[in-house]
C-alpha cells in the first residue's frame, strides 16, 4: 500500500536553528512529491513540489527539499528558521502513473519555533 512516513511528529527549535524534516514514501514507480504547510488556523498551502528535473527544489520562504530516489526520501530543509515558521508540515506524493492517483499524505510534523 502507498504510504508516507514523516519521522518527526513534533519538533521544537529556537529561532535561527537549522531545520530538517524527514519524509519517506513507499512506491516503486515515478512520483510527484509535495510539501504543504498549514499555519495555525489556516488552510494547507503548497510549500514546494517536485515533478522532474533537478532533485533539489526550492520553495517559498527559504525552504528547500531534496529528492533522493534511491532512498525514497524527500526531506525538507531550512537553514535558519523563524518564529513565523511555526506550523504543521505535510509531506505528500502521488504516482506519476499507475497506483492510486490520489495523493497520499503523511501524518504531519508540528514545528514550534521559539522566539
Residue ranges binding other proteins (CB under 8 A):
9, 32, 34, 36, 42-46, 49, 51-52, 90, 94-96, 101-103, 105-108
H/E stretch holding 25 reads strand 24-26
Q: Which is nearer to other proteins, 36 or 74 (CB)?
A: 36
Nearest CA to 103 out of 112, 114, 92 is that of 92
Alpha-carbon distances of 24 from 5, 84, 90, 113, rounded to whole Å: 5, 26, 12, 24
Residue 64 CB, shortest distance to other proteins, in Å, is: 17
Contacting residues for 3 by C-beta, under 8 A, at least 6 apart: 25, 26, 104
Minimum CB–partner distance for residue 42 and other proteins (Å): 7
Nearer to other proteins among residue 49 and residue 77 (C-beta): 49
Q: How far is the CB of 103 from other proteins (least distance, A)?
A: 7
Question: Which lies closer to other proteins via its Cβ, residue 39 or residue 83?
Answer: 39
Give min distance, CB of 19 to other proteins, in A.
19
Q: Which three cell numbers stand for residue 46?
A: 503548497
Q: Using the structure block, give the residue that is written with the C-alpha cell 502513473.
A: 97
Amino acid at each position: 500500500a502507498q504510504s508516507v512516513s514523516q519521522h518527526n511528529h513534533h519538533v521544537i527549535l529556537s529561532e535561527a536553528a537549522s531545520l530538517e524534516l524527514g519524509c519517506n514514501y513507499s512506491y516503486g514507480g515515478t512520483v510527484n512529491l509535495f510539501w504543504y504547510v498549514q499555519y495555525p488556523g489556516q488552510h494547507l498551502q503548497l510549500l514546494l513540489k517536485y515533478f522532474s528535473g533537478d532533485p533539489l527544489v526550492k520553495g517559498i520562504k527559504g525552504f528547500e527539499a531534496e529528492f533522493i530516489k534511491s532512498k525514497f526520501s524527500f526531506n525538507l530543509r531550512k537553514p535558519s528558521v523563524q518564529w513565523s515558521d511555526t506550523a504543521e508540515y505535510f509531506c505528500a506524493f502521488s504516482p506519476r502513473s499507475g497506483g492510486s492517483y490520489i495523493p497520499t499524505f503523511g501524518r504531519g510534523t508540528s514545528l514550534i519555533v521559539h522566539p
